[in-house]
Structure 1
Amino acid sequence: MQSFYPSQIIEYMYCARYTYFEYVLRIPQNEDKFYKVERGREVHNEKLESNKDYLRKKIGVTEKWIDQYLGSEELRGRVDEVLQLNDGTFAPLDYKFAHWKDRVFETYKQQLYCYAILIEETFNTKVNKGFLVYTRSKNKVIEIPIASNSKDMIKSSTQAMLEIIEQNRFPKATKFKKRCLNCTYRNVCVK
Protein backbone atom coordinates (compact mmCIF):
# COMPACT_ATOMS: atom_id res chain seq x y z
CA MET A 1 0.00 0.00 0.00
CA GLN A 2 1.26 3.45 -0.94
CA SER A 3 1.27 6.16 1.71
CA PHE A 4 1.56 9.87 1.00
CA TYR A 5 3.04 12.92 2.67
CA PRO A 6 0.70 15.89 3.27
CA SER A 7 2.63 17.90 0.66
CA GLN A 8 1.82 15.26 -1.99
CA ILE A 9 -1.88 15.32 -1.12
CA ILE A 10 -1.87 19.13 -1.25
CA GLU A 11 -0.24 18.96 -4.69
CA TYR A 12 -2.88 16.49 -5.86
CA MET A 13 -5.65 18.78 -4.62
CA TYR A 14 -4.00 21.68 -6.45
CA CYS A 15 -3.80 19.64 -9.68
CA ALA A 16 -4.19 15.86 -9.97
CA ARG A 17 -1.45 15.72 -12.59
CA TYR A 18 1.20 16.24 -9.91
CA THR A 19 0.51 12.68 -8.79
CA TYR A 20 0.85 11.37 -12.33
CA PHE A 21 4.15 13.14 -13.04
CA GLU A 22 5.67 12.33 -9.66
CA TYR A 23 4.55 8.70 -9.19
CA VAL A 24 3.77 7.31 -12.63
CA LEU A 25 6.39 9.08 -14.77
CA ARG A 26 8.82 9.59 -11.82
CA ILE A 27 9.76 13.15 -12.81
CA PRO A 28 11.24 15.02 -9.81
CA GLN A 29 10.10 18.55 -9.05
CA ASN A 30 13.43 20.06 -7.93
CA GLU A 31 11.68 22.51 -5.62
CA ASP A 32 14.59 22.69 -3.18
CA LYS A 33 16.13 25.54 -5.13
CA PHE A 34 13.56 28.03 -3.87
CA TYR A 35 14.84 30.32 -1.10
CA LYS A 36 11.61 30.38 0.94
CA VAL A 37 11.53 26.57 1.10
CA GLU A 38 15.08 26.42 2.44
CA ARG A 39 14.65 29.34 4.85
CA GLY A 40 11.36 27.89 6.06
CA ARG A 41 13.10 24.62 6.92
CA GLU A 42 15.79 26.49 8.87
CA VAL A 43 13.23 28.49 10.88
CA HIS A 44 11.21 25.33 11.46
CA ASN A 45 14.22 23.58 13.00
CA GLU A 46 15.09 26.63 15.11
CA LYS A 47 11.52 26.83 16.48
CA LEU A 48 11.41 23.15 17.35
CA GLU A 49 14.68 23.47 19.27
CA SER A 50 13.76 26.68 21.10
CA ASN A 51 10.23 25.60 22.07
CA LYS A 52 11.08 22.18 23.52
CA ASP A 53 9.83 22.95 27.01
CA TYR A 54 7.24 25.62 26.20
CA LEU A 55 3.61 24.68 26.93
CA ARG A 56 0.99 26.92 25.35
CA LYS A 57 -1.29 27.27 28.37
CA LYS A 58 -3.27 30.06 26.68
CA ILE A 59 -4.75 27.52 24.25
CA GLY A 60 -5.18 24.84 26.90
CA VAL A 61 -2.18 22.59 26.26
CA THR A 62 -1.52 20.04 28.99
CA GLU A 63 1.12 17.98 27.17
CA LYS A 64 2.94 18.00 23.84
CA TRP A 65 5.14 15.88 21.65
CA ILE A 66 7.49 17.73 19.28
CA ASP A 67 8.71 16.77 15.82
CA GLN A 68 6.63 13.59 15.67
CA TYR A 69 6.89 11.30 12.64
CA LEU A 70 3.52 9.56 12.28
CA GLY A 71 2.34 7.04 9.72
CA SER A 72 -0.75 5.10 8.70
CA GLU A 73 -1.81 3.07 5.67
CA GLU A 74 -2.48 6.09 3.48
CA LEU A 75 -0.60 8.94 5.19
CA ARG A 76 2.77 9.70 6.74
CA GLY A 77 4.46 12.85 7.89
CA ARG A 78 6.28 14.81 10.54
CA VAL A 79 4.09 16.96 12.78
CA ASP A 80 5.84 19.95 14.36
CA GLU A 81 3.90 19.55 17.61
CA VAL A 82 1.16 17.17 18.74
CA LEU A 83 -0.76 18.88 21.52
CA GLN A 84 -2.95 17.31 24.18
CA LEU A 85 -5.58 19.84 25.26
CA ASN A 86 -7.28 20.23 28.63
CA ASP A 87 -10.60 18.93 27.19
CA GLY A 88 -8.96 15.57 26.38
CA THR A 89 -8.74 16.14 22.63
CA PHE A 90 -5.53 16.48 20.64
CA ALA A 91 -4.45 19.03 18.03
CA PRO A 92 -1.62 19.51 15.54
CA LEU A 93 0.48 22.68 15.66
CA ASP A 94 2.48 23.70 12.60
CA TYR A 95 5.04 26.50 12.22
CA LYS A 96 4.86 28.63 9.07
CA PHE A 97 7.67 30.85 7.82
CA ALA A 98 5.11 33.46 6.78
CA HIS A 99 3.44 36.72 7.75
CA TRP A 100 -0.13 36.68 9.08
CA LYS A 101 -2.28 38.56 6.55
CA ASP A 102 -5.78 37.98 7.96
CA ARG A 103 -6.38 34.81 5.93
CA VAL A 104 -5.29 31.21 6.05
CA PHE A 105 -4.22 29.52 2.82
CA GLU A 106 -6.15 26.39 1.90
CA THR A 107 -2.87 24.49 1.65
CA TYR A 108 -2.12 25.24 5.32
CA LYS A 109 -5.56 23.95 6.31
CA GLN A 110 -5.16 20.82 4.18
CA GLN A 111 -1.86 20.07 5.88
CA LEU A 112 -3.54 20.33 9.30
CA TYR A 113 -6.34 18.01 8.10
CA CYS A 114 -3.72 15.42 7.16
CA TYR A 115 -2.06 15.76 10.54
CA ALA A 116 -5.43 15.43 12.26
CA ILE A 117 -6.00 12.04 10.61
CA LEU A 118 -2.52 10.87 11.59
CA ILE A 119 -2.98 12.00 15.20
CA GLU A 120 -6.42 10.37 15.48
CA GLU A 121 -5.09 7.06 14.17
CA THR A 122 -1.85 7.11 16.19
CA PHE A 123 -3.18 8.36 19.53
CA ASN A 124 -6.70 6.85 19.20
CA THR A 125 -8.24 10.20 20.02
CA LYS A 126 -10.33 13.01 18.54
CA VAL A 127 -8.97 16.06 16.71
CA ASN A 128 -11.37 19.00 16.28
CA LYS A 129 -8.90 21.80 15.66
CA GLY A 130 -5.33 22.64 14.82
CA PHE A 131 -3.01 25.60 15.22
CA LEU A 132 -0.72 27.56 12.91
CA VAL A 133 2.16 29.69 14.18
CA TYR A 134 3.19 32.51 11.83
CA THR A 135 6.87 32.97 12.66
CA ARG A 136 7.28 36.20 10.67
CA SER A 137 4.44 37.88 12.61
CA LYS A 138 5.86 37.54 16.11
CA ASN A 139 4.74 33.90 16.33
CA LYS A 140 1.04 34.73 16.01
CA VAL A 141 -1.08 31.64 16.76
CA ILE A 142 -4.20 31.00 14.69
CA GLU A 143 -6.75 28.32 15.58
CA ILE A 144 -8.21 26.32 12.67
CA PRO A 145 -11.37 24.21 13.13
CA ILE A 146 -11.10 20.70 11.68
CA ALA A 147 -14.44 19.17 10.68
CA SER A 148 -15.07 15.52 9.82
CA ASN A 149 -15.82 16.36 6.18
CA SER A 150 -12.37 17.98 5.90
CA LYS A 151 -10.73 14.74 6.99
CA ASP A 152 -13.01 12.80 4.60
CA MET A 153 -11.83 15.03 1.75
CA ILE A 154 -8.21 14.07 2.50
CA LYS A 155 -9.07 10.36 2.63
CA SER A 156 -10.91 10.48 -0.70
CA SER A 157 -7.93 12.32 -2.22
CA THR A 158 -5.55 9.55 -1.17
CA GLN A 159 -7.86 6.98 -2.80
CA ALA A 160 -7.98 8.99 -6.02
CA MET A 161 -4.19 9.28 -5.99
CA LEU A 162 -3.85 5.52 -5.63
CA GLU A 163 -6.16 5.01 -8.62
CA ILE A 164 -4.01 7.31 -10.77
CA ILE A 165 -0.90 5.35 -9.82
CA GLU A 166 -2.35 1.84 -10.00
CA GLN A 167 -4.22 2.45 -13.27
CA ASN A 168 -1.43 4.52 -14.85
CA ARG A 169 -4.15 7.07 -15.64
CA PHE A 170 -3.43 10.59 -16.91
CA PRO A 171 -5.89 12.79 -14.99
CA LYS A 172 -7.59 15.96 -16.11
CA ALA A 173 -5.69 19.17 -15.44
CA THR A 174 -6.91 21.68 -12.92
CA LYS A 175 -9.69 23.92 -14.14
CA PHE A 176 -7.85 26.91 -12.63
CA LYS A 177 -5.43 27.73 -15.46
CA LYS A 178 -3.56 30.38 -13.44
CA ARG A 179 -2.12 27.51 -11.40
CA CYS A 180 -0.25 26.31 -14.50
CA LEU A 181 1.90 29.47 -14.62
CA ASN A 182 4.08 28.50 -11.64
CA CYS A 183 3.82 24.73 -11.94
CA THR A 184 7.09 22.82 -11.82
CA TYR A 185 5.71 20.51 -14.54
CA ARG A 186 4.45 23.21 -16.93
CA ASN A 187 7.12 22.36 -19.54
CA VAL A 188 6.07 18.71 -19.80
CA CYS A 189 2.34 18.97 -19.21
CA VAL A 190 -0.11 18.72 -22.10
CA LYS A 191 -2.82 21.24 -21.31
Structure 2
Amino acid sequence: MPPGGSEPSAEVRLPRRHRANSPRRARVAARTPARPRQRLDLLPPLLPPRLPVLARTRPGLRPGAPRRRREAAHPVTAALPETSDEQTWLPVTRVLEHAFCPRYTYYEEVLRIPQRQEIRYKVLEGRKVHARRERTNRGYKRKRLGVIEKLEDVALSSETLRLYGRIDEALRLADGTAAPLDYKFSPMPDKPRDYVVHQATAYALLLEETWGLPVRAAYVYYLREPRGHHRIETTPRRRASTRKLIRAMRSVREQACLPEPTRHRSRCRDCSFRTICPQ
Protein backbone atom coordinates (compact mmCIF):
# COMPACT_ATOMS: atom_id res chain seq x y z
CA MET A 1 0.00 0.00 0.00
CA PRO A 2 1.47 3.39 -0.96
CA PRO A 3 2.04 5.98 1.72
CA GLY A 4 -1.04 8.05 2.45
CA GLY A 5 -3.21 5.70 1.53
CA SER A 6 -6.04 3.98 0.11
CA GLU A 7 -6.20 0.85 -2.01
CA PRO A 8 -5.30 1.66 -5.62
CA SER A 9 -7.97 1.08 -8.18
CA ALA A 10 -7.44 -1.57 -10.84
CA GLU A 11 -5.99 0.01 -13.97
CA VAL A 12 -4.66 -1.29 -17.26
CA ARG A 13 -0.93 -1.81 -17.38
CA LEU A 14 0.40 -0.13 -20.45
CA PRO A 15 3.63 -0.82 -22.30
CA ARG A 16 6.67 0.97 -21.00
CA ARG A 17 6.56 3.62 -23.72
CA HIS A 18 3.04 4.74 -22.61
CA ARG A 19 3.52 4.92 -18.83
CA ALA A 20 4.66 8.54 -18.79
CA ASN A 21 1.79 9.70 -20.99
CA SER A 22 -1.33 11.53 -19.87
CA PRO A 23 -4.30 9.63 -18.28
CA ARG A 24 -6.48 10.54 -21.26
CA ARG A 25 -4.12 8.91 -23.69
CA ALA A 26 -3.96 5.87 -21.43
CA ARG A 27 -7.75 5.51 -21.46
CA VAL A 28 -7.86 5.81 -25.24
CA ALA A 29 -5.15 3.21 -25.57
CA ALA A 30 -7.04 0.87 -23.23
CA ARG A 31 -10.22 1.08 -25.32
CA THR A 32 -8.41 0.58 -28.64
CA PRO A 33 -8.29 -3.08 -29.64
CA ALA A 34 -4.96 -4.43 -30.76
CA ARG A 35 -4.50 -4.61 -34.53
CA PRO A 36 -4.31 -8.11 -35.90
CA ARG A 37 -1.08 -9.07 -37.53
CA GLN A 38 -1.16 -8.88 -41.30
CA ARG A 39 -0.60 -12.24 -42.91
CA LEU A 40 1.88 -12.13 -45.77
CA ASP A 41 0.13 -14.97 -47.58
CA LEU A 42 -3.01 -12.83 -47.95
CA LEU A 43 -1.23 -9.94 -49.69
CA PRO A 44 -1.90 -9.51 -53.43
CA PRO A 45 0.85 -10.94 -55.62
CA LEU A 46 3.44 -8.48 -56.92
CA LEU A 47 3.26 -7.48 -60.56
CA PRO A 48 5.99 -8.98 -62.73
CA PRO A 49 8.80 -6.58 -63.62
CA ARG A 50 8.67 -4.83 -66.98
CA LEU A 51 10.47 -6.75 -69.63
CA PRO A 52 13.22 -4.97 -71.57
CA VAL A 53 12.49 -3.80 -75.08
CA LEU A 54 14.60 -6.52 -76.69
CA ALA A 55 12.62 -9.24 -74.90
CA ARG A 56 9.40 -8.00 -76.45
CA THR A 57 10.81 -7.99 -79.97
CA ARG A 58 9.29 -10.53 -82.29
CA PRO A 59 11.42 -13.64 -82.88
CA GLY A 60 13.69 -13.34 -85.89
CA LEU A 61 13.56 -9.56 -85.98
CA ARG A 62 16.56 -7.67 -84.67
CA PRO A 63 16.27 -4.05 -83.49
CA GLY A 64 16.53 -1.68 -86.41
CA ALA A 65 15.50 -4.27 -88.97
CA PRO A 66 13.01 -3.27 -91.67
CA ARG A 67 9.48 -3.85 -90.44
CA ARG A 68 6.44 -4.56 -92.52
CA ARG A 69 4.55 -1.33 -92.98
CA ARG A 70 1.12 -0.49 -94.25
CA GLU A 71 1.23 0.48 -97.89
CA ALA A 72 0.26 4.06 -98.64
CA ALA A 73 -2.73 4.86 -100.78
CA HIS A 74 -0.55 6.52 -103.42
CA PRO A 75 0.37 4.01 -106.16
CA VAL A 76 4.00 5.17 -106.44
CA THR A 77 4.84 4.63 -102.76
CA ALA A 78 6.70 1.38 -102.17
CA ALA A 79 6.39 -0.77 -99.07
CA LEU A 80 9.48 -1.57 -97.07
CA PRO A 81 10.87 -5.11 -97.46
CA GLU A 82 9.56 -8.07 -95.50
CA THR A 83 11.31 -9.09 -92.29
CA SER A 84 12.14 -12.55 -93.63
CA ASP A 85 14.71 -10.98 -95.96
CA GLU A 86 16.19 -8.60 -93.40
CA GLN A 87 19.59 -10.33 -93.45
CA THR A 88 20.15 -9.25 -97.07
CA TRP A 89 18.69 -5.73 -96.95
CA LEU A 90 20.48 -2.57 -95.84
CA PRO A 91 19.09 0.90 -95.01
CA VAL A 92 20.10 3.84 -97.19
CA THR A 93 21.58 5.61 -94.17
CA ARG A 94 24.34 2.99 -94.17
CA VAL A 95 25.49 4.37 -97.54
CA LEU A 96 26.17 7.79 -96.02
CA GLU A 97 27.85 6.26 -92.96
CA HIS A 98 30.06 3.90 -94.97
CA ALA A 99 31.17 6.78 -97.20
CA PHE A 100 31.89 8.84 -94.06
CA CYS A 101 33.99 5.98 -92.67
CA PRO A 102 33.82 2.27 -93.63
CA ARG A 103 34.13 1.23 -89.99
CA TYR A 104 30.58 2.46 -89.33
CA THR A 105 29.33 -0.57 -91.23
CA TYR A 106 31.46 -2.92 -89.11
CA TYR A 107 30.36 -1.49 -85.77
CA GLU A 108 26.65 -1.29 -86.66
CA GLU A 109 26.11 -4.30 -88.93
CA VAL A 110 28.64 -6.77 -87.49
CA LEU A 111 28.98 -5.82 -83.81
CA ARG A 112 25.44 -4.32 -83.56
CA ILE A 113 26.61 -1.29 -81.58
CA PRO A 114 24.08 1.61 -81.70
CA GLN A 115 25.06 5.21 -82.20
CA ARG A 116 24.87 7.93 -79.58
CA GLN A 117 21.48 9.42 -78.69
CA GLU A 118 22.44 12.93 -79.79
CA ILE A 119 22.29 11.74 -83.39
CA ARG A 120 18.57 11.13 -82.94
CA TYR A 121 18.21 14.53 -81.27
CA LYS A 122 19.70 16.27 -84.31
CA VAL A 123 17.27 14.46 -86.59
CA LEU A 124 14.26 15.53 -84.53
CA GLU A 125 15.52 19.10 -84.28
CA GLY A 126 16.01 19.18 -88.03
CA ARG A 127 12.40 18.12 -88.58
CA LYS A 128 11.18 20.96 -86.38
CA VAL A 129 13.18 23.49 -88.38
CA HIS A 130 11.90 21.89 -91.57
CA ALA A 131 8.29 22.35 -90.45
CA ARG A 132 8.87 26.02 -89.60
CA ARG A 133 10.62 26.63 -92.92
CA GLU A 134 7.75 25.04 -94.82
CA ARG A 135 5.19 27.27 -93.12
CA THR A 136 7.11 30.48 -93.81
CA ASN A 137 8.41 29.63 -97.28
CA ARG A 138 5.69 27.49 -98.77
CA GLY A 139 5.82 27.12 -102.55
CA TYR A 140 9.44 28.24 -103.02
CA LYS A 141 10.75 24.86 -104.16
CA ARG A 142 7.69 24.22 -106.29
CA LYS A 143 8.31 27.37 -108.35
CA ARG A 144 12.09 27.04 -108.55
CA LEU A 145 12.28 23.36 -109.47
CA GLY A 146 9.09 23.06 -111.52
CA VAL A 147 7.39 20.63 -109.15
CA ILE A 148 3.97 19.37 -110.20
CA GLU A 149 3.58 16.81 -107.38
CA LYS A 150 5.25 16.40 -104.00
CA LEU A 151 5.05 13.51 -101.56
CA GLU A 152 6.55 13.63 -98.07
CA ASP A 153 8.20 10.83 -96.07
CA VAL A 154 8.06 8.34 -98.95
CA ALA A 155 9.08 4.71 -98.43
CA LEU A 156 11.46 3.46 -101.12
CA SER A 157 13.06 0.09 -101.78
CA SER A 158 15.14 -1.53 -104.49
CA GLU A 159 15.15 -5.25 -105.22
CA THR A 160 18.23 -4.77 -107.39
CA LEU A 161 20.34 -3.05 -104.74
CA ARG A 162 18.62 -4.66 -101.73
CA LEU A 163 18.30 -1.23 -100.14
CA TYR A 164 15.37 0.40 -98.36
CA GLY A 165 14.68 3.75 -96.74
CA ARG A 166 12.48 6.82 -96.53
CA ILE A 167 13.11 10.07 -98.36
CA ASP A 168 11.98 13.41 -96.91
CA GLU A 169 10.31 14.45 -100.18
CA ALA A 170 9.83 12.78 -103.56
CA LEU A 171 9.17 15.26 -106.37
CA ARG A 172 7.56 14.76 -109.77
CA LEU A 173 8.81 17.48 -112.10
CA ALA A 174 7.23 19.14 -115.11
CA ASP A 175 9.81 17.69 -117.55
CA GLY A 176 8.63 14.12 -116.83
CA THR A 177 11.43 13.24 -114.42
CA ALA A 178 11.48 12.64 -110.68
CA ALA A 179 13.86 13.87 -107.99
CA PRO A 180 14.52 12.99 -104.34
CA LEU A 181 14.89 15.84 -101.87
CA ASP A 182 16.69 15.36 -98.57
CA TYR A 183 16.91 17.82 -95.66
CA LYS A 184 20.08 18.31 -93.66
CA PHE A 185 20.39 20.05 -90.30
CA SER A 186 24.15 20.58 -90.71
CA PRO A 187 25.64 23.86 -92.01
CA MET A 188 25.82 24.18 -95.79
CA PRO A 189 29.33 23.60 -97.22
CA ASP A 190 30.64 25.23 -100.39
CA LYS A 191 30.17 21.96 -102.27
CA PRO A 192 28.40 18.76 -101.23
CA ARG A 193 30.43 16.27 -99.21
CA ASP A 194 31.31 12.96 -100.80
CA TYR A 195 29.16 10.98 -98.33
CA VAL A 196 26.17 13.24 -99.02
CA VAL A 197 26.64 12.69 -102.76
CA HIS A 198 26.63 8.91 -102.28
CA GLN A 199 23.46 9.02 -100.19
CA ALA A 200 21.68 11.32 -102.65
CA THR A 201 22.67 9.06 -105.54
CA ALA A 202 21.38 6.01 -103.67
CA TYR A 203 18.05 7.77 -103.09
CA ALA A 204 17.92 8.58 -106.80
CA LEU A 205 18.46 4.91 -107.72
CA LEU A 206 15.72 3.80 -105.33
CA LEU A 207 13.26 6.44 -106.53
CA GLU A 208 13.95 5.60 -110.16
CA GLU A 209 13.21 1.93 -109.57
CA THR A 210 10.14 2.59 -107.41
CA TRP A 211 8.44 5.17 -109.61
CA GLY A 212 9.69 3.99 -113.00
CA LEU A 213 10.67 7.56 -113.94
CA PRO A 214 14.13 8.83 -114.90
CA VAL A 215 16.00 10.72 -112.19
CA ARG A 216 18.57 13.21 -113.43
CA ALA A 217 19.37 14.98 -110.17
CA ALA A 218 18.85 14.87 -106.42
CA TYR A 219 18.44 17.87 -104.14
CA VAL A 220 19.80 18.47 -100.65
CA TYR A 221 18.36 21.40 -98.66
CA TYR A 222 20.20 22.75 -95.63
CA LEU A 223 17.74 23.95 -93.02
CA ARG A 224 20.13 26.36 -91.33
CA GLU A 225 20.61 28.31 -94.56
CA PRO A 226 17.75 30.33 -96.06
CA ARG A 227 17.08 28.75 -99.45
CA GLY A 228 20.44 26.98 -99.32
CA HIS A 229 20.58 23.77 -101.33
CA HIS A 230 22.78 21.64 -103.60
CA ARG A 231 21.76 20.04 -106.87
CA ILE A 232 23.56 16.73 -107.29
CA GLU A 233 23.65 15.34 -110.82
CA THR A 234 23.16 11.58 -110.97
CA THR A 235 25.77 10.97 -113.66
CA PRO A 236 26.73 7.44 -114.78
CA ARG A 237 30.08 7.84 -113.02
CA ARG A 238 28.42 8.68 -109.70
CA ARG A 239 25.95 5.83 -110.07
CA ALA A 240 28.78 3.35 -110.66
CA SER A 241 30.72 4.73 -107.68
CA THR A 242 27.69 4.36 -105.37
CA ARG A 243 27.03 0.81 -106.56
CA LYS A 244 30.66 -0.06 -105.84
CA LEU A 245 30.32 1.40 -102.33
CA ILE A 246 27.20 -0.69 -101.70
CA ARG A 247 29.10 -3.85 -102.69
CA ALA A 248 31.88 -2.87 -100.28
CA MET A 249 29.29 -2.49 -97.48
CA ARG A 250 28.00 -6.00 -98.08
CA SER A 251 31.52 -7.39 -98.14
CA VAL A 252 32.23 -5.95 -94.68
CA ARG A 253 29.06 -7.45 -93.23
CA GLU A 254 29.43 -10.86 -94.88
CA GLN A 255 33.13 -11.28 -94.06
CA ALA A 256 32.84 -9.61 -90.61
CA CYS A 257 36.23 -7.95 -91.10
CA LEU A 258 37.34 -4.60 -89.72
CA PRO A 259 38.00 -2.30 -92.70
CA GLU A 260 40.55 0.47 -92.92
CA PRO A 261 39.41 3.79 -91.41
CA THR A 262 38.68 6.88 -93.47
CA ARG A 263 41.55 8.85 -94.93
CA HIS A 264 40.01 12.04 -93.54
CA ARG A 265 41.16 11.78 -89.93
CA SER A 266 39.38 15.04 -89.07
CA ARG A 267 36.12 13.07 -89.21
CA CYS A 268 37.19 11.04 -86.19
CA ARG A 269 36.33 13.98 -83.92
CA ASP A 270 32.63 13.71 -84.81
CA CYS A 271 32.50 9.91 -84.92
CA SER A 272 30.08 8.08 -82.65
CA PHE A 273 32.57 5.22 -82.17
CA ARG A 274 35.75 7.20 -81.53
CA THR A 275 36.02 5.86 -77.96
CA ILE A 276 36.22 2.22 -79.10
CA CYS A 277 37.85 2.53 -82.52
CA PRO A 278 41.56 1.62 -82.68
CA GLN A 279 41.99 4.10 -85.57
Preserved contact between residue 152 and residue 169 of structure 2 (Cα < 8 Å): yes
Structure 2 counterpart of 1:129, from 217, 225, 228 = 217
Preserved contact between residue 70 and residue 119 of structure 1 (Cα < 8 Å): yes
In the TM superposition, what is the alpha-carbon distance from 1:49 to its structure 2 partner?
8.1
In the TM superposition, what is the alpha-carbon distance from 1:115 to its structure 2 partner?
0.9
In the TM superposition, what is the alpha-carbon distance from 1:47 to its structure 2 partner?
5.7
Matched, 1:140 2:228: yes
> In terms of mean alpha carbon deviation, does 149-158 or 28-37 score higher?
28-37
Preserved contact between residue 55 and residue 63 of structure 1 (Cα < 8 Å): no
Distance (Å, rounded) in 1 between the aligned partners of 2:242 and 2:117: 23
Aligned to 1:62: 148
In the TM superposition, what is the alpha-carbon distance from 1:125 to its structure 2 partner?
1.9
Structure 2, unaligned runs of 5 or more: 1-86
Matched, 1:182 2:267: no
- Pairing 1:59-138 to 2, within 5 Å after superposition: 59-73=145-159, 74-100=162-188, 102-138=190-226
**One-letter amino acid of the counterpart of residue 115, structure 2:** Q
Could you state the TM-score of these two structures normalised by the residue count of structure 1?
0.84
The alignment's C-alpha RMSD in Å is: 2.7
Residues 48 and 66 of structure 1: CA distance in aligned 2, closer, same or farther (over 3 Å): farther
Matched, 1:14 2:120: no
In the TM superposition, what is the alpha-carbon distance from 1:34 to its structure 2 partner?
6.8
Q: Which has the higher helix share?
A: 1
**One-letter amino acid of the counterpart of residue 92, structure 1:** P
Aligned to 2:248: 160
- Pairing 1:9-48 to 2, within 5 Å after superposition: 9-32=95-118, 36-44=122-130
Preserved contact between residue 3 and residue 72 of structure 1 (Cα < 8 Å): no
Q: What is the CA deviation profile of residues 101-120 of structure 1, one whole-angstrom value per residue up to 9, with x for unaligned ones?
A: 54333333222111101111
Preserved contact between residue 171 and residue 180 of structure 2 (Cα < 8 Å): yes
**One-letter amino acid of the counterpart of residue 86, structure 1:** A
In the TM superposition, what is the alpha-carbon distance from 1:138 to its structure 2 partner?
2.5
> In terms of mean alpha carbon deviation, does 119-128 or 91-100 score higher?
91-100
Distance (Å, rounded) in 1 between the aligned partners of 2:155 and 2:134: 14
The number of residues matched between the two structures is 191
Preserved contact between residue 126 and residue 223 of structure 2 (Cα < 8 Å): no
The alignment partner of 2:220 has SS state of strand
Q: What is the CA deviation profile of residues 46-95 of structure 1, one whole-angstrom value per residue up to 9, with x for unaligned ones?
A: 56788898871332222222210111232111111111112211111122
Residues 102 and 180 of structure 1: CA distance in aligned 2, closer, same or farther (over 3 Å): closer
Residues 123 and 18 of structure 1: CA distance in aligned 2, closer, same or farther (over 3 Å): same
Could you state the TM-score of these two structures normalised by the residue count of structure 2?
0.60
In the TM superposition, what is the alpha-carbon distance from 1:20 to its structure 2 partner?
0.8
Preserved contact between residue 40 and residue 97 of structure 1 (Cα < 8 Å): yes
Structure 1 counterpart of 2:239, from 144, 151, 175 = 151
**One-letter amino acid of the counterpart of residue 109, structure 1:** V
Aligned to 2:3: none
Residues 80 and 11 of structure 1: CA distance in aligned 2, closer, same or farther (over 3 Å): same
